[in-house]
Structure 1
């Protein structure tokens, strides 16, 4: 019988073993990476495209084109596309991101002969029917109207605009931006962006030699446009103003978002900064949670993070607090930031954070798809899988003195961009 009065033995995380992908390049320039693992005859195929250069006059093209890819081609309507995929128990979706947009297919390997041609049709012949575009614009404007009633969304938009300036990262879409979407612009954007030379194909699951050959063979005749994809982006210029307040007299809660530009994932300080961030507000047992939620009761939740994108990065703290304690909450946040600049983290707390972070990495590697996701994180940052070895080693070895030094190097509360929506 299992004696439940005895706690199971705990062990330190020593190694994190990641699946190394295979790699090949198609003649049309498409880069192919595959992860072969698992017993189920299931694959996830991701066609990942770099977004085109941000155009402030037509700011929503990257998002709108990707979102509407599955709404119809010359051969198939949006309903027929959905039915063709559903019939074979497959799943198809388009996902937009700031830096890349992708088309994702989950399919049993025995049905790839039926599902792959549908994806090829989408990637080569999407038409963005006018009636579907009109519906898209109307729906997005309605969603935007609802979103703009939420304080936390307003705070996030204002913070991003301050930190990232007039770039895709700082865009706060308006109803007028949606109204300006034109089918002709979307077709031109599609032709330039969705071509093999601008595509990274990531395949994960049970990818044997025959399956890989079948997938790559279906796209070998995929041709590039005569106009190369321009995926460069305008330089980021943060604004000079540091404090932004939107008053809502009837607000019961105030949204707070603050932070400042930060180093990228590729920077040597980034892993240790993630440890420092975790101590401050990166997990449920963080100092911000212990103070602002557990001790003061100002909020249901507060957290901090570092967002590392391809062309920009930022450290941020975000919460919603009772409108009557907004100033008190900001004072407590400043206190916690400054404590990390003046006092050493105890070895007990640092050990807890180390174990949490290493355990989170291991816990996130639950299947082959997770390994592919870890690869994408570093690949599109220009790094290799050895990044995770360095990351884990720094988590295990960084000292309290080093973390204090980093807090003083990167965190100046007076220089934080501070956004408040509600009452102050």
Structure 2
């Protein structure tokens, strides 16, 4: 179930949105499918989220998604900062893009660009001694198979369009997200509630729960006089 935590900062002109969920570990055979799916969604300036929320709608200066590998699990996340008045529309569009990548085919050009970007970035990172040392250390700490550096580009390029949709259907599920919003609670709490399966958890900047007063009961209706 999708949950929302609101960190209340009264008077804030901006709302920071961070969405996240657990994902598979890097040594899982499906890692590269999810890596390419993430790249298409929000892994670069040319990705879908940036093209829509920044270039077309002007909601933000930047929005990216990320797939972070850890030993016990991966973490998928999306981060952005928007004007307070467009916080709810921005969140709606982000969730819409998650649904789109799960359901609609990926174009051949979009797939090619995403894979080439990932492969090129990887090759450039290995061109320096520091980058190579980091990659070797990373592989050891994450129990990656022997030869993983030699097969990375091949594994990325082997991902097809249906692979992307399959990974997105399994791991990029909007209903499993935890959404954290930092902003003016008085202005955004009610709008955010529409996107949460459970009541919005509202905390202050120290993480302490904020008691939200219950709405006053509606006044009793005036008695209706019987007409003769």
TM (norm. structure 2) is: 0.77
Map 1:223-262; keep pairs closer than 5 Å.
Answer: 242-262=3-23
Aligned-pair CA distance for 1:241: 7.8
1:274 alignment counterpart = 35
1:393 alignment counterpart = 154
Question: Taking structure 1 as reference, are residues 241 and 287 closer, same or farther at Cα in structure 2, changes over 3 Å only?
Answer: closer
Looking at structure 2, the residues matched to 385 and 367 of structure 1 have their Cα atoms a distance apart, in angstroms, of: 21
Q: Any conservation in 2 of the 1:260–1:315 contact (CA below 8 Å)?
A: yes
1:347 to 102, 105, 108: 108
Q: Any conservation in 1 of the 2:40–2:47 contact (CA below 8 Å)?
A: yes
2:81 alignment counterpart = 320
- Please give the per-residue CA displacement for 1:217-242, whole angstroms capped at 9, x wherever unaligned: xxxxxxxxxxxxxxxxxxxxxxx882
- Please give the per-residue CA displacement for 1:234-260, whole angstroms capped at 9, x wherever unaligned: xxxxxx882101222311110100121
The question of 1:410 aligning with 2:138 is answered no
Aligned-pair CA distance for 1:388: 2.9
Looking at structure 1, the residues matched to 94 and 2 of structure 2 have their Cα atoms a distance apart, in angstroms, of: 20
Map 1:43-54; keep pairs closer than 5 Å.
Answer: none
Q: Any conservation in 1 of the 2:32–2:159 contact (CA below 8 Å)?
A: no
The question of 1:283 aligning with 2:11 is answered no
Gaps of 5+ in 1: 1-239
Map 1:126-137; keep pairs closer than 5 Å.
Answer: none
Aligned-pair CA distance for 1:302: 0.5
Aligned-pair CA distance for 1:356: 0.9
Q: Any conservation in 1 of the 2:68–2:75 contact (CA below 8 Å)?
A: yes
Looking at structure 2, the residues matched to 285 and 387 of structure 1 have their Cα atoms a distance apart, in angstroms, of: 27
1:375 to 112, 136, 160: 136
Q: Any conservation in 2 of the 1:375–1:385 contact (CA below 8 Å)?
A: no
2:118 to 330, 336, 357: 357
Aligned-pair CA distance for 1:336: 0.9
Q: Any conservation in 1 of the 2:2–2:177 contact (CA below 8 Å)?
A: no
- Please give the per-residue CA displacement for 1:245-277, whole angstroms capped at 9, x wherever unaligned: 122231111010012111111111111111110
Query: CA-atom RMSD, angstroms?
Result: 1.5
Task: Give SS of 2:66's match.
Answer: strand
Question: Taking structure 1 as reference, are residues 250 and 282 closer, same or farther at Cα in structure 2, changes over 3 Å only?
Answer: same
Aligned length: 185
Question: Taking structure 1 as reference, are residues 250 and 406 closer, same or farther at Cα in structure 2, changes over 3 Å only?
Answer: same
1:421 alignment counterpart = 182
The question of 1:263 aligning with 2:24 is answered yes
Task: Give SS of 1:311's match.
Answer: coil
Looking at structure 2, the residues matched to 416 and 279 of structure 1 have their Cα atoms a distance apart, in angstroms, of: 19
Q: State which structure, 1 or 2, has the greater radius of gyration over its C-alpha atoms.
A: 1
The question of 1:298 aligning with 2:59 is answered yes
Looking at structure 1, the residues matched to 72 and 7 of structure 2 have their Cα atoms a distance apart, in angstroms, of: 28
Larger RCO (alpha carbons 8 Å, 6+ apart): 2
